[in-house]
Amino acid sequence: MSRPTEILSNDHKVVLEKLKLFEQTVNNFKSPNSKKVLSDLKVFFRKEVDVHFKKEENALFPEMEKFIPRDEGPIGQMLMEHEDLYKYEDNFINGIDLFSKDENNDEAQKLIRENATNYINLLREHIYKEDNMLFMMADMHLEDDQINEIMKKFEDMDKAQ
């Protein structure tokens, strides 16, 4: 059976690949398929990435808080970063919606580029910290019954999609 941290780390690999594509696309809005790529990325971020964040917020972190207090620790930090990521995401998605109506809209391009850059940089650092620090702590301390509880929540969240 997979461990929750293994599932989440695998998600990270997929996300990092998509971030590369996102970065290339916002650096070249003129490429002929950028509209299609951006609208596919919108779906990916809104569905896959948001569910990934919810798995951490509602399943993994609550169990970890039984041995690491939230405030001033790494979990509080990760949650704050999620909040910033949601904001950047909302902003670049507004930009993508405007861009899909008019590819030459400078405001749309600016909105996407600025927020995508902040999102990509923060999310890369965030993933690095989770993979190399937080998940190691989880693997060290989570008991079997906690792992089962987290896995059960993951399944429920996948079903609810």
Summarize as ranges the residues that interact with Fe ion (CB under 5 A).
130
Least distance between Fe ion and beta carbon 9 (Å) = 8
- Close Cβ partners of 124 (under 8 Å, ≥ 6 residues apart): 16, 19
- Close Cβ partners of 118 (under 8 Å, ≥ 6 residues apart): 84, 88
Closer CB to Fe ion, 63 or 130, in the complex: 130
Closer CB to Fe ion, 89 or 130, in the complex: 130
CA distance 81 to 130: 11
Least distance between Fe ion and beta carbon 151 (Å) = 16
CA distance 135 to 88: 24
Closer CB to Fe ion, 111 or 134, in the complex: 134
The residue whose Cβ lies closest to Fe ion is 130
Closer CB to Fe ion, 41 or 111, in the complex: 41
Closer CB to Fe ion, 26 or 123, in the complex: 123
Least distance between Fe ion and beta carbon 34 (Å) = 27
- Contact between residue 50 and residue 15 where contact means Cβ atoms under 8 Å apart: no
* DSSP, residue by residue, 1-23: ---HHHHHHHHHHHHHHHHHHHH
Least distance between Fe ion and beta carbon 19 (Å) = 12
Least distance between Fe ion and beta carbon 14 (Å) = 11
CA distance 161 to 158: 5
Residue 3 phi/psi, 5-degree rounding, is -90, 155
